[in-house]
């Protein structure tokens, strides 16, 4: 396994981060722990989760899987999504953050979180309040680094500016939506992060299994239960240009004698600013396939061929306010 600096920090993480959304939804405890331990044995030292993955179930299973080896693992979790029906059970307010960090620490069976990320921008809470609360957690020793997930570049830029102007710890990573069939982040977010020394750790780098050829446009079709019921993939992908990109990736994969999934992952790994794409896996063999991508060297012609069919997409992964309704 290879390791990279997490942006401008001194922290080194594996070039593949294990995404554990499935630990809280599709996998039982035994299989979750088995995949987690296999990942560690193969050199993965970066685990990504969120409090809302199974309403704490993913965090709980990670805590059990990493018991005894916690000090060797970088754990990233998130806060901000709904964790109940109460009016304060969602968002990035000081109240919600302080409440949820304690729950995450308990479930993860740890006294600190390596990377604490806001899951989305909270339109109801001033960013000053959010950053102040997060800064307190770093100074209190409960959190070591701060990160953020999908939002607009102008929002992330504002957060970085507010942190700097007020002497607060700033975000060191951005977990955004980025893959060969969704490249809108190249317009503003990726260049911003590269310029600011912020690590890019994209989610859905393999487009939710799209390149494995198991997803279809029609509900109920596909070789696996997940493929048959994955409505989110059908909503996000399957534009005409997406299919054209997939065809191009298949051609390049054949030349390299690799799978399309491996080529799609290699492309992300070799993209500017990328530190560690977050890869979800339900079986050890899924990770084995990904590990081989680290050694793949794509030529400029390979990259150009796979990128050529791409066409612009609407925003996928976060929402933006109507400018006409924004307060000045």
Judged on CB neighbours under 10 Å (0-12, 13-18, 19+), 238 is middle
Q: Which residue has the tokens 């796979």?
A: 306
53 is a catalytic site residue: yes
The rounded distance, in Å, linking the Cα atoms of 13 and 48 is: 11
Out of 3, 53, 95, 116, the active site residue is: 53
Half-sphere exposure of 26 (CA within 13 A, CB side): 15
Length of the chain: 328
User: What is the Cα 328 distance to its own chain's centre?
Assistant: 32
* Per-state percent for the chain, helix, strand, coil, to nearest 5: 45, 15, 40
The rounded distance, in Å, linking the Cα atoms of 214 and 206 is: 12
Handedness of CA 133, 139, 140, 142 (dihedral sign): positive
Burial 58-96 (b: 16+ CB within 10 A, else e): bbbbbbebbeeebeebbbbbbbbbebeeeeeebbbbeeb
Q: Which residues contact 273 (CB under 8 A, 6 or more apart)?
A: 190, 193, 194, 199, 200
Cα dist from 41 to 35, 38, 216, 254, whole Å? 10, 5, 34, 30
The rounded distance, in Å, linking the Cα atoms of 84 and 168 is: 29
12 membership: H or E segment, kind and range: strand 12-14
113 neighbors 142 (Cβ within 8 angstroms): yes
Q: Which residues contact 307 (CB under 8 A, 6 or more apart)?
A: 180, 183, 245
Residue positions annotated with a catalytic role: 53
């Amino acid at each position: 396994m290879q390791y990279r600096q997490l942006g401008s920090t001194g922290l080194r993480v594996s070039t593949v981060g294990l995404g554990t959304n499935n630990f809280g939804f599709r996998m039982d405890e035994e299989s979750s722990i088995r995949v987690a331990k296999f990942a560690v044995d193969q050199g993965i030292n970066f685990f990504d989760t969120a409090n809302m993955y199974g309403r704490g179930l993913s965090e709980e299973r990670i805590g059990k899987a990493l018991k005894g080896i916690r000090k060797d693992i970088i754990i990233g979790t998130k806060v901000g999504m709904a964790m109940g029906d109460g009016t304060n059970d969602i968002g990035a307010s000081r109240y919600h953050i302080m409440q949820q960090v304690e729950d995450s620490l308990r479930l993860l069976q740890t006294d600190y979180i390596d990377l604490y990320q806001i899951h989305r921008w909270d339109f109801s809470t001033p960013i000053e309040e959010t950053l102040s609360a997060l800064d307190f957690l770093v100074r209190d020793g409960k959190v070591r680094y701060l990160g953020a997930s999908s939002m607009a570049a102008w929002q992330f830029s504002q957060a970085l500016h507010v942190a700097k102007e007020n002497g607060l710890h700033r975000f060191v990573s951005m977990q955004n939506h980025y893959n060969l069939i969704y490249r809108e982040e190249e317009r503003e977010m990726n260049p911003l992060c590269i310029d600011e020394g912020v690590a890019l750790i994209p989610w859905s780098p393999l487009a939710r299994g799209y390149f494995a050829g198991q997803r279809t446009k029609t509900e109920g079709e596909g070789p696996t239960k997940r493929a048959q019921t994955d409505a989110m993939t059908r909503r996000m992908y399957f534009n005409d240009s997406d299919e054209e990109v997939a065809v191009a990736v298949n051609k390049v994969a054949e030349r390299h004698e690799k799978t399309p999934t491996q080529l799609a992952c290699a492309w992300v790994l070799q993209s500017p600013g990328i530190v560690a794409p977050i890869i979800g896996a339900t079986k050890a063999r899924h990770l084995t396939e990904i590990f081989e991508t680290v050694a793949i060297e794509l030529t400029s012609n390979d990259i150009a061929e796979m990128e050529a069919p791409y066409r612009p997409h609407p925003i996928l992964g976060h929402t933006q306010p109507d400018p006409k309704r924004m307060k000045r």
